[in-house]
Structure 1
Amino acid sequence: MLPEQFCVRMKEMLGEEYAAFYASYDLPKYQALRINPLKTERDTFLLQAPFSLNRVPWTTNGYYYSGNDQPGRHPYHEAGVYYIQEPSAMAPAEYLMAEPGERILDLCAAPGGKSSQIACSMQGEGLIVCNEIHPARAKILSENIERMGVCNALVTNETPQKLSDNFREYFDRILVDAPCSGEGMFRKNEDACDEWSPENVENCAARQAEILDCAAEMLKPGGRLVYSTCTFAPTENEGSISRFLERHPEFSILPVEKKDGMMPGVPAWTEHPADGLEHTIRLWPHHLKGEGHYLAVLQKAGVLSRTCQGYCRNGVEKGINEKECREFFAFAEENLVKNITGNFLKFGDQLYRMPEGMPSIRNLKVLRPGLHLGTLKKNRFEPSHALALALRPDQVKHVCSLESDSPQVKAYLNGQTLNMDGEKGWYLVTVDGYSIGWGKLAGGILKNHYPKGLRKNG
């Protein structure tokens, strides 16, 4: 069912390899998950994992699982212990090489797999801005950031142009996982075949140029930009990079190590090839266990300096006075082992702890300005689901410990109350030691505070 014009072009590109490429569409797609080090140690998870796992060679925490496994239905998924992600899609964030304390932008971030992967490398330190232009997809992005326990993310719903107006030479690293024609996903998603056309390939290339130009303005001198697509089209890959470098001579392609099965970009596939295209990377489904991807690692001329603050239109977000958070501090003293410190922000009656040095959010469409702590109500505070997922059992005074194969876990995720004894108050509900939500105990009944929108029975 592959589009005829697509097949003609791929045969011209691949020559003798085309038969192996075409045959790959009859093979089953590979499925993988990425362990979340914000929640667990890799070796710890591998000892307790109820799945058959094999390492994805190009990423630290990625593992293939078998077709018989269903990790999306396991309570660990709701606890954010791992993220289910297509194996090849794990490569771009790995090549970004994010470090703790940096400012990083994921410009086209939904549904959040690459953002959460970047956040894991940052270990909770620094700022990651996760942006998505489409409102519905931005909402999914925000939910996944929450589920994975990411505390230092600013989730925005903006155009690249609006962000570049607010930030100039501000970010240390930028990932542009660009919207594309999706040719690399034909095996995984048949709808991508139906939507394909040569005209769409050209339209995507034009859109990619606009996005890359915005990214160039926002990157610090000496900073790293990783560009990636899930398409085979040279116009959107080697072509997009060559045209970008012609417009932006201050950028160059960085040579990077190619992992098992990765192939070089092909300069001959574009009309005016830039120097170094052979250092870009193609992931082919007939060469490795994953779908089709392309990525290029670029560097901006200059020296990357932590003292360079860049341009931020409205400066740093100031936050609120601690007196405005007294209900939260009372909750924390009663229920947490150690108080949560930092700078706080009110969004209506919602309280957030901002990432350190978070830029002003004035005039930006923001879904999540840091860690959502909960709701400030009259003379009381109700903790958020995000706070539960960001906490460990040793950080709270009361824990309701459940086992993943117990009926109580299923009941909790369905929104049911649980019978249990203990002191009155808020309890962090855990599954095999991983936080999964809140419950409030009174009179031997644990009232369920698992969000209604996430419950398995609606």
Structure 2
Amino acid sequence: MNVKIEELYSRYQSIIPDFKIFLEYLQIPLYPSFRVNTIKVAPEKIFNLLKELKLTPLKFYSEGFSLNQRFPLGNHWTHQVGLIYAQEIASMIPAIILEPKPNETILDLCAAPGSKTTQIAQLMKNKGLIVANEVNKKRISGLIHNVKRCGLLNEVVISLPGERIGNILPDYFDRVLIDAPCSAEGTIRKSRAVLYHWGLKNIQKMSRIQKGLIVSGFKALKSGGTLVYSTCTIAPEENEGVIDYLLKKFPEAEVLPITIPGFKIRAGITHWQNESFDQRVKMCSRILPQDNNTAPFFVAKITKRGIPHLRPGFQGRIEFNERIIENLYRRFEIAKENFSNYAIFQRQNAFFISTCEVYSFFELPCIRKGLELGWIYDDVLKPDNDFIQIFGKGVKKNFVEIEEWELKRFLSGESIRTQSSLDGFVVLLFKDLPIGVGRINDKEIKSTIKPSRRIKSPE
């Protein structure tokens, strides 16, 4: 059923005082926005790499930027190689509110496509453990694509019904993010698709799913930990109604206040139609488009009162393949001490690198752990491109510096000519940033960029 914008959102007129302005903003398409992936590059370097664009730093988030023009950010080479992540501004808020710290154990209960998983990982400085769960098998490939593109070393990807995890791993995680599946009313500024599938029955269905997810996430949370629940919808049934349900079910649950300097938020509501909610839901946050020129969003921050219980540590051996590190040092003189706090292990024909916390996570079957380090071909190591973008900053030999036109040819999968006398695998540097690995043969550098990661061929 196709409904008009006014019809769809008219049910919220009583809870939005400036409803007319709200409707006006809903019909204005959003400008692109992104965050810098600090796992691979420092924010101050982005201006030079995106010099053709007009960037405005976000006041509340030093790693976020908005554009003052229409531009397909997802097609830019910096996005393809994982230096930036195109993401709507309001979508950045839940991970910021979660306040993840390095070396913590964190659960992203509904992880695909990976926007918030990768943001959490960089806020953790790529340390500790983030368990990224996605029940929808069709969305797993997109999640894996993004965690690899962003160079995550601290992620484990699993696929279980989110409602089960709290019973399997009770009191396990320092922090839990539930960016819940929802009726997606807030996506209207990006796509009109919501007009075709919106309905009260869908809102009620989503609310039931969300209640199961938040109960599971709360069970999985350690006492004293932090849970953030978010949706991109406006319906109170999916927002305050879900938090109210949690508060009634768990006396130890407590709502925490949210403050975001430089970003306007509105309080949660305590009355909706014929229903009254717990007064504490006022501390939840409603994000409306007219306040910050973003998509609508809802965010709640919860803690679990009680004394945390220590979990027994991993008793096994952390695998560390010294031969691979020696190979990297001989070929590129990348310092061996860069790898001293990681696990280096082989899975099938590939070598991986991860945090020790990732390696020692065996409580659930995992689809993926850590990042590809490289592959051995005829006793020669071919490093992975995403790996080299992180650890190749200290390369001292067997590297080639390239110009921008050469960079774009390489990233489109084409070979580039070189006058270098080197042979074999080399690291390509652009403006002192390691971009990837090429193979020199007969004065030609062959690209190793996979088809799924290539940019459009330059004309």
Q: CA deviation at 1:328?
A: 6.0
SS in 1 for 2:62: coil
Q: CA deviation at 1:33?
A: 0.9
Tell me: CA distance 1:4–1:152, structure 2 relative to 1, closer, same or farther (3 Å). same
Counterpart residue type for residue 357 of structure 2: G
Within-5 A mapping of 1:294-373? 294-303=298-307, 308-309=310-311, 318=317, 320=319, 322=321, 326=323, 329-339=326-336, 340-341=339-340, 342-358=342-358, 359-361=360-362, 364-366=365-367, 368-373=368-373
Residue 42 of structure 2 is matched in structure 1 by 41
1:158–1:365 contact (8 Å) kept in structure 2: no
Within-5 A mapping of 1:39-438? 39-46=40-47, 49-50=50-51, 51-259=53-261, 260-269=263-272, 271-303=275-307, 308-309=310-311, 318=317, 320=319, 322=321, 326=323, 329-339=326-336, 340-341=339-340, 342-358=342-358, 359-361=360-362, 364-366=365-367, 368-377=368-377, 379-395=379-395, 397-403=397-403, 406-420=404-418, 421-438=420-437
Counterpart residue type for residue 334 of structure 1: R
Q: CA deviation at 1:96?
A: 0.5
Counterpart residue type for residue 45 of structure 1: I
State TM-score, norm by structure 2: 0.90
After the TM superposition, which of the residue ranges 216-225 and 33-42 deviates more from structure 2?
Answer: 33-42
Counterpart residue type for residue 27 of structure 1: I
SS in 2 for 1:391: helix
Matched residues, number: 447
2:8 pairs, out of 6, 19, 28, with 6
C-alpha distance in structure 2 between counterparts of 1:162 and 1:319, whole Å: 29
1:182–1:192 contact (8 Å) kept in structure 2: yes
1:327–1:380 contact (8 Å) kept in structure 2: no
Counterpart residue type for residue 345 of structure 2: L
Counterpart residue type for residue 93 of structure 1: A
C-alpha distance in structure 2 between counterparts of 1:376 and 1:197, whole Å: 54
Counterpart residue type for residue 278 of structure 1: K
CA RMSD, 1 decimal: 2.5
Deviation readout 1:42-69 (Å, 9 max, x if unpaired): 2333355322111323323111102244
1:223–1:299 contact (8 Å) kept in structure 2: yes
C-alpha distance in structure 2 between counterparts of 1:435 and 1:47, whole Å: 15
Tell me: CA distance 1:56–1:289, structure 2 relative to 1, closer, same or farther (3 Å). farther
SS in 1 for 2:195: helix
C-alpha distance in structure 2 between counterparts of 1:69 and 1:317, whole Å: 50
C-alpha distance in structure 2 between counterparts of 1:229 and 1:122, whole Å: 23
C-alpha distance in structure 2 between counterparts of 1:34 and 1:246, whole Å: 37
Counterpart residue type for residue 274 of structure 1: D
Q: CA deviation at 1:157?
A: 2.5
Q: CA deviation at 1:176?
A: 0.6
1:428–1:435 contact (8 Å) kept in structure 2: yes
C-alpha distance in structure 2 between counterparts of 1:146 and 1:372, whole Å: 8
1:242–1:272 contact (8 Å) kept in structure 2: no
Structure 2: stretches of 5+ with no match in the other structure: none
C-alpha distance in structure 1 between counterparts of 2:452 and 2:301, whole Å: 39
Q: CA deviation at 1:296?
A: 0.3
SS in 2 for 1:416: coil
2:166–2:215 contact (8 Å) kept in structure 1: no
Q: CA deviation at 1:319?
A: 5.3
Q: CA deviation at 1:141?
A: 1.4
C-alpha distance in structure 2 between counterparts of 1:348 and 1:251, whole Å: 44
C-alpha distance in structure 2 between counterparts of 1:321 and 1:327, whole Å: 9
Tell me: CA distance 1:333–1:272, structure 2 relative to 1, closer, same or farther (3 Å). farther
After the TM superposition, which of the residue ranges 429-438 and 85-94 deviates more from structure 2?
Answer: 429-438
2:135–2:161 contact (8 Å) kept in structure 1: yes
C-alpha distance in structure 2 between counterparts of 1:211 and 1:456, whole Å: 38
Structure 1: stretches of 5+ with no match in the other structure: none
C-alpha distance in structure 2 between counterparts of 1:213 and 1:115, whole Å: 20
SS in 2 for 1:354: strand
2:438–2:446 contact (8 Å) kept in structure 1: yes
Q: CA deviation at 1:18?
A: 1.8
Q: CA deviation at 1:331?
A: 4.3
Tell me: CA distance 1:59–1:457, structure 2 relative to 1, closer, same or farther (3 Å). closer
Q: Percent identity?
A: 26
Deviation readout 1:164-219 (Å, 9 max, x if unpaired): 35422121111110000000111211112212111110111111111111111211
2:32–2:71 contact (8 Å) kept in structure 1: no
C-alpha distance in structure 2 between counterparts of 1:296 and 1:363, whole Å: 28
Deviation readout 1:333-358 (Å, 9 max, x if unpaired): 32342233432333222221232223
2:421–2:443 contact (8 Å) kept in structure 1: yes
C-alpha distance in structure 1 between counterparts of 2:380 and 2:392, whole Å: 23
After the TM superposition, which of the residue ranges 66-75 and 50-59 deviates more from structure 2?
Answer: 66-75
Counterpart residue type for residue 447 of structure 2: N
2:234–2:298 contact (8 Å) kept in structure 1: yes
Tell me: CA distance 1:82–1:5, structure 2 relative to 1, closer, same or farther (3 Å). same
State TM-score, norm by structure 1: 0.90
After the TM superposition, which of the residue ranges 374-383 and 343-352 deviates more from structure 2?
Answer: 374-383
2:382–2:425 contact (8 Å) kept in structure 1: no
1:393–1:428 contact (8 Å) kept in structure 2: no
After the TM superposition, which of the residue ranges 379-388 and 408-417 deviates more from structure 2?
Answer: 379-388
After the TM superposition, which of the residue ranges 47-56 and 140-149 deviates more from structure 2?
Answer: 47-56
Deviation readout 1:383-411 (Å, 9 max, x if unpaired): 223322332332453323233xx321221
1:3–1:196 contact (8 Å) kept in structure 2: no
2:334–2:392 contact (8 Å) kept in structure 1: no
Tell me: CA distance 1:57–1:331, structure 2 relative to 1, closer, same or farther (3 Å). closer
Tell me: CA distance 1:317–1:163, structure 2 relative to 1, closer, same or farther (3 Å). farther
After the TM superposition, which of the residue ranges 434-443 and 244-253 deviates more from structure 2?
Answer: 434-443
2:80–2:455 contact (8 Å) kept in structure 1: no
